[in-house]
Structure 1
Amino acid sequence: MTKQAVWTLAEQFDGELKAVSFELLARGRKLADKLGTGLVSVLLGDGVSDAALEWLIRQGADTVYSVQHPALKYFVCETYARTLESLIREYQPAIILAAATSTGRTLMPYTAIKLRTGLTADCTELDVEEGTGNLLQTRPAIGGNIMATIKTPDTRPQMATVRPKSARPLAADAARKGEIAHIPLPEIPAAKTRVTGYRRDEADALGIEAADVVVAGGRGLKKGENFGMLRELAERLHGAVGASRDAVDRGWISYPHQIGLSGKTISPKVYVGIGISGAIQHLAGIKTSETIVSINSDPDAALHQLADLSIVGDAFRVVPEIIKRLDARKGAQHG
């Protein structure tokens, strides 16, 4: 078993690995290579097949530690934290990364306290300090107005949660070889919590993080009622509606739609920004999008500079025209 390795936590639900598991491997691979150590993916759960675990190796892991037991089928913080703490004390990793999901944001602080070590939450960038091996953990601070880089020089392991969709998974390599180690559930006290069921909250239902197409609006829409045309466009494109912080602060749309350092990081196939100037905080939340489209009457809007396709024009004329042409194309296809 590799000590002083970089660990990433894989997430699963009903035996299926979540996409964020592979995003974290891309982050971890870079750090492990820089430190000259191994990369371990840690899976706590139940019912995940070896075939599924092999994909963790194909996409960056050197070793997979798999702890599977009916007690780990659903996320219960006490059980997961005690299991993870036991593994950490035995195998002594240097760095542990988890996703800034509801699981990671609950599990990692609980575990860090038990280990008396540091934790930086909601990181957007990670690196290793030359000469010390300290993890450089960069995250937005003061409402996203500055970026702070944090170190944990005196305690180990170094722990961080990372924003989902802030990195692309590595390409799968069928030739990569690695080890899958099945580790028994440690002897830990039974949890006092009992799972009775799950429900999806509003943010999950909106789905902007998982959507292939996101249509987002900003201050240029002038008032909340004008988000109606964005919803129409998103419906035609089978996408979700997002927003800039400015639009959310003005009360035009609710916070779960917010994109950027103080909102959500997204990585859709197509992002369409309408009436969004392109503040650095917003651009950081969309930079991994495959194709970026900007619609803004200001030719100097920062979003135009990042976009793959820029339309300089009045959104109140451009967007209805796009909807009209999409409807016409659909009608022709069914005619």
Structure 2
Amino acid sequence: MISADLCTACASCVDACPFGALSVEGDVAQVNDQCTFCGACIDVCPAGAISIERPAAEEKPNLSSYHGVWVWVEQFRGQACTISWEMLGQARRLADQLGTALTACVLGHGVEPVAREAVAYGADRVFLVDDPTLAVYRTDPYAAVLVRLVREHRPEIFLLGASARGRDLAGAIATDLRTGLTADCTGLDIDPETRLLRQTRPAFGGNIMATIICPNYRPQMATVRHRVFDVPPADPSRQGQIVRVPAAMDEGEIASQVVDFLVEAGQVNLADARIIVSGGRGVGGPAGYAPLQELADVLGGALGASRAAVDAGWIPYAHQVGQTGRTVKPDLYIACGISGAIQHLAGMQTSKVIVAINKDPEAPIFNVATYGIVGDLFEIVPALTAEFRKRLGR
């Protein structure tokens, strides 16, 4: 701040500021929003008219008081989303490594069966918040009850799915709790020495895999991409504690209402497809996807694409596989004319069987392929389609 009583309007601070954040207006210097609080102006002010008010140091949390691994179980209309069980399986492993309990958080209305499922998939305890205000997902009531639970019970790790709802909810919770959040993780592990959660995700456009830790704040929060972990086998005989918890907001306190759900026509469900036929830059243009679509139809599969093809405008984004698209794990992935950039591999390399078709024998896609075919996809794909049609009688 600048003291009008002390300032002489000498403009020494204006000359010293490397960001152009100061000017003299009338008889006093003024600061604008370009200021970075570097302090250069303070050193040159002959009148001592400039000072910086710094916020008080934030009190660090007592990390030793945080225990347990939590997972938000996402559901829609009473049906749990598969990503929740994928996370519970991985969270069970993390909790066992830490020697701590695994808690699932189930929110909704009429969702007690989902809570029982969570126990079967590995939860030791389930917080069940069953209330009409939670019948459909809305950020405020969902975040309010989870923030309240976290503050009361202090988990050391909190995982959410990297779905549209999960990303929205995780950001709201982390902001309220003032803790760190790693988005779109493809790997989670515990550091054996520090006991910190090691959160791995693609970074810098997918060119590297970064491992991130949150050493100073709790809970350690992460969103996890769909299909990067396997769904564990359910054990219906497994016993666990279900704790009923009241909602945190009344309907009158909630600013938003869900009026209706509109299903997008022709929506592509890549994440759950058992067979995917994908095309990249090698298809040459929009027309190049026609033989790929025909093969996908014969196999009963879905049509995918690389980012390069989507960016070129050849095919809608809904078909994109990779770091910035869908993460998939089909039984069969056929990559046609896809070179194998790390951004694409991050989204499909855990597929059970990968067949790569490419003219370039040095293409990186062959490094992850189960079977590789070097040749022209416009000759190979129609031949495969004809053979599958004959063998499958389609």
TM-score by length of 1: 0.91
Higher CA-based Rg: 2
The residue number in structure 1 matching 2:110 is 47
Alignment of 1:160 with 2:222, yes or no, is yes
Q: Is residue 19 of structure 1 aligned with residue 85 of structure 2?
A: no
State which drifts further: 174-183 or 73-82: 174-183
Distance 1:218 1:7, change over 3 A: same
Residue pair 2:66, 2:219 contacting (<8 A) in 1 also: no
Tell me what 1:106 maps to: 168
The answer for the alignment partner of 2:306 in structure 1 is: 244
Counterparts in 2 of 1:179-328, with a 5 A limit?
179-186=241-248, 190-201=253-264, 205-328=267-390
SS in 1 for 2:253: coil
Question: 1:137–1:149: 8 Å Cα contact kept in structure 2?
Answer: yes
Residue 53 of structure 1 aligns to a residue whose secondary structure is helix
Return the letter of the residue paired with 2:69: V
Instruction: Indicate if the aligned counterparts of 2:200 and 2:212 stay in contact, CA closer than 8 A.
Output: yes
| SS at 1:133 equivalent | coil
In structure 2, distance between residues paired with 1:315 and 1:10: 42
2:151 aligned partner: 89
Offset at 1:325?
Answer: 2.4
Question: Aligned partners of 1:174, 1:105: CA distance in 2, in Å?
Answer: 30
**Cα distance change, pair 242–42 in 1 and its aligned pair in 2 (3 A):** same
Cα distance in 1 between the residues matched to 2:100 and 2:208:
32
> 1:248 aligns to what SS in structure 2?
helix
> Is the Cα–Cα contact under 8 Å of residues 112 and 128 in structure 2 kept in the other structure?
no
Write the deviation string for residues 82-113 of structure 1: whole angstroms up to 9, x where unpaired: 01111111111111000011111111111111
Matches of 1:57 and 1:299, distance apart in 2: 48
Greater shift in the superposed pair: 95-104 or 30-39: 30-39
In 2: Cα distance, 1:242 partner to 1:20 partner: 20
**What is the RMSD of the two structures over their aligned residues, measured on CA atoms?**
2.1
Q: Do the aligned residues in 2 keep the contact of 1:167 with 1:288 (CA within 8 Å)?
A: no
Q: CA deviation at 1:201?
A: 4.6
State the alpha-carbon separation in 2 of the partners of residues 278 and 145 from structure 1.
12
**Aligned pair 1:141/2:191, yes or no?**
no
Structure 2 alignment gaps of length 5 or more: 1-64
Q: Given that residues 267 and 318 in structure 2 are in contact (C-alpha distance below 8 angstroms), is that contact kept between their aligned partners in structure 1?
A: no
CA–CA separation in structure 2 for the residues paired with 1:305 and 1:109: 36
Give, in angstroms, the shift of residue 3 of structure 1: 6.1
Conserved 8 A contact 2:112-2:130: no
Question: Percent identity, aligned pairs only?
Answer: 44
Cα distance in 2 between the residues matched to 1:305 and 1:145? 16
Q: Distance between the aligned counterparts of 1:166 and 1:328, measured in 2?
A: 34
How many residue pairs align between the two structures?
329
The answer to which of 54-63 and 101-110 deviates more is 54-63
- Checking the alignment, whether the CA contact within 8 Å between 2:141 and 2:247 is kept in structure 1 is no
Secondary structure class of the residue paired with 2:340 = coil
Structure number with higher relative contact order (C-alpha < 8 Å, ≥ 6 residues apart): 1
Query: For structure 1, which segment, 317-326 or 179-188, has the greater mean C-alpha deviation from structure 2 after superposition?
Result: 179-188
Kindly indicate whether the alpha-carbon contact (under 8 Å) linking 1:140 and 1:262 is maintained by their aligned counterparts in 2.
no
Where does structure 1 lack aligned partners over 5 or more consecutive residues? none
Aligned with 1:122 (options 180, 184, 187): 184
Secondary structure in 2 matching 1:299: coil
Q: Which residue of structure 2 aligns with residue 10 of structure 1?
A: 73
Is 2:123 the partner of 1:29?
no
Q: Measure, in 2, the Cα distance between the counterparts of 1:176 and 1:22.
A: 15
Give the SS at the match of 1:285: helix
- Report the residue type matching 1:307 in the other structure: A
Q: Which amino acid in 2 is paired with 1:43?
A: V
Quote the Cα distance in structure 2 between the aligned partners of 1:115 and 1:197.
31
Other structure's SS at 1:206 match:
coil
